[in-house]
Structure 1
Amino acid sequence: MTTTEPATMKGVFLPGDSTAEPREYPVPRPGHGQVLVEIGASGICGSDIGFIYRGYKGYRGVDGPAYRGVIAGHEPSGRIVAAGPGVRRFGVGDRVIVYHIVGCGLCDNCRRGHYISCAFGRESYGWQRDGGHAPFLLAEERTCVPLPDELSYVDGALIACGFGTAYEGLRRAGVSGDTDLLVVGLGPVGLAAGMIGRGMGARKVVGVEPSGPRRGWAETLGVFDRTLAPGDGTVEEVADITRRGGAAVTIDCSGTRPGRSLALEAAAEWGHVSLVGEGGDLLTEVSDTLLHKQLTIHASWVTSLPAMSELARNLVGWGLSPEKVVSDTFAFSRADEAYALAAGASEGKVCLVPDPER
Structure 2
Amino acid sequence: MTTTIPSTMTGVYLPGTSSTERRELPVPTPGPGQVLVQVGASGICGSDIGYIYRGYKTHKGVDGPAYRGVVSGHEPSGRIVAVGEGASRFGVGDRVIVYHIAGCGLCDNCRRGFYISCSAPSRASYGWQRDGGNAPYVLAEERTLVPLPDELSYVDGALIACGFGTAYEGLRRIRVSGEGDLLVVGLGPVGLAAGMIGRGMGARRVIGIEPSEGRRRWADQLGVFDATFHPDEIGAALDLTGGAGFAFTIDASGTAPGRSTALEAAAEWGDVSLVGEGGELRTEVSDTLLHKQLTLHASWVTSLPAMAELAENLVAWGLRPEAIVSDRFTLNESDEAFALAAGASDGKVVFVAEGDV
Which bin holds the TM-score, normalised by the shorter protein?
Answer: over 0.9
Call closer, same or farther: CA 1:58–1:272 in 2, change over 3 Å: same
| CA distance in structure 2 between the partners assigned to 1:245 and 1:307 by the alignment | 32
Aligned-partner Cα distance in 2 for 1:273–1:325: 24
Pairwise CA distance, 1:21: 1.6
Q: Residue 32 of structure 2 corresponds to which residue in structure 1?
A: 32
The match for 1:337 is 336
Q: Does 1:197 align with 2:198?
A: yes
| Counterpart in the other structure of 1:184 | 185
Aligned amino acid, residue 55 of structure 1: G
**2:75 matched residue in structure 1:** 75
Aligned twin of 2:209: 208
- The equivalences for 1:211-230 within 5 A come to 211-230=212-231
Partner of 2:141: 140
2-side partners of 1:159 and 1:166: how far apart? 9
3-state SS of 1:177 partner: coil
Give the residue type in structure 1 aligned to 2:280. D
Residue deviations 1:137-184 (CA, integer Å, cap 9, x gap): 000000000000000000000000000000000000110011210000
Cα drift, residue 357 of structure 1:
9.8
Counterpart residue identity of residue 320, structure 1: L
TM-score normalised by structure 1 residue count: 0.97
Cα root mean square deviation, aligned: 1.3
Question: Which stretches in structure 1 are left out of the alignment for 5+ residues?
Answer: none
CA contact (8 A) 1:255 1:278 kept: yes
Offset at residue 244 of structure 1 (A): 6.0
Deviation at 1:300, TM superposition (A): 0.1
Aligned residue-pair number? 355
> Does the CA-based 8 Å contact 1:204-1:242 persist in structure 2?
no
- Asked if 1:51 corresponds to 2:51, the answer is yes
Alignment-mate amino acid for residue 71 of structure 1:
V
Question: Partner of 1:306: helix, strand, or coil?
Answer: helix
| TM-score of the aligned structures, taking structure 2 as reference length | 0.98
Deviations along 1:30-75, whole A, 9 cap, x unmatched? 0000000000000000000000000133214224320000000000
In the alignment, is the contact (CA less than 8 A) between 1:14 and 1:20 conserved in 2? yes
Q: Which moved more, 1:9-18 or 1:236-245?
A: 236-245
Q: 1:182 to 1:95 in 2, by over 3 A?
A: same
Deviations 1:201-254 (A, max 9, x none): 0000000000000000000000000100011x51x3232112361110100000
Partner of 1:23: 23
Q: Distance in 1 between matches of 2:32 and 2:163?
A: 29
Report the 3-state secondary structure (helix = DSSP H, G, I; strand = E; otherwise coil) of the residue aligned with 1:285.
Answer: coil
Q: Deviations over 1:104-136 (max 9, x none)?
A: 100111001000111213210000000000000
How far off is 1:3 after superposition?
7.4
| Structure 2 partner of 1:96 | 96
Question: What is the percent sequence identity of the aligned residues?
Answer: 75
Q: In the alignment, which residue of structure 1 is the partner of 2:263?
A: 264
Q: Does 1:289 align with 2:315?
A: no
Secondary structure of 2:240's counterpart equals helix
Task: Quote the offset at 1:4 in angstroms.
Answer: 1.1
Amino acid at match of 2:219: A
